[in-house]
Amino acid sequence: MKKTTSKIYIDVCTLCRPYDDQNSLRIKFETDAYYLILSHVRSGRFPMIISPVHFSEINAIDDEIEKTNLLSMIDRCKSDVVFDLIKIHARTEKLIKKGFGIGDAAHLAFAENSSDVFISCDDKLIKKALKNDIKIKVLSPVQFCLLEDLK
């Protein structure tokens, strides 16, 4: 079994997965994988990086319970990190020019600056990232659990 200490960056669509309709098998798998990853974050195996983009997107959530729960969770689980905001801004601009949306570009730029793995449930974002010279691993939560042999 691998025992890595990869720093992980989980995007907001993944953090929100437990609040999606769990009747879809895919969503259920991704939710279970997310909770498994989160258990390893809480145990200290994987530092979880949280950026200002997380707070911005979570604060825009209409459901007050979901918003409060997510803000509380990221506050408890985040690892302290110092970001190079000049590099992040420049990288965000480059990614936007490559066709990424502003939020996705910012998440990826923060992740590249601070993390080893970017985790998302967004298939389009993952495919686009894999085609566009992203400097860290980009995986779904299920792929990450399989790669790290999480139990």
The predicted-structure confidence for 47-105, as pLDDT tens digits, reads as follows 999 999 999 999 999 999 999 999 999 999 888 899 999 999 999 999 999 999 999 99
In this prediction the pTM is 0.94
Residue 2 covered by a domain: no
Residue 12 covered by a domain: yes
Domain total of the chain = 1
Q: What's the CATH code of the domain at 138?
A: 3.40.50.1010
Contacts of 135 (CB under 8 A, 6+ apart): 112
Residue 3 covered by a domain: no
Do the beta carbons of residue 9 and residue 117 sit within 8 Å? yes
Residue 48 covered by a domain: yes
* CA 36 from centroid of its chain's CA atoms: 14
Q: How many CB atoms lie within 10 A of CB 79?
A: 15
pLDDT digits (tens, 9 = 90+) for 13-60: 999 999 999 999 999 999 999 999 999 999 999 999 999 999 999 999
Q: Is the pLDDT of residue 2 over 70?
A: no
Q: Provide the residue range defining the domain that includes 44.
A: 8-148
Rounded distance between C-alpha atoms, residue 104 and residue 2, angstroms: 29
Residue 1 covered by a domain: no
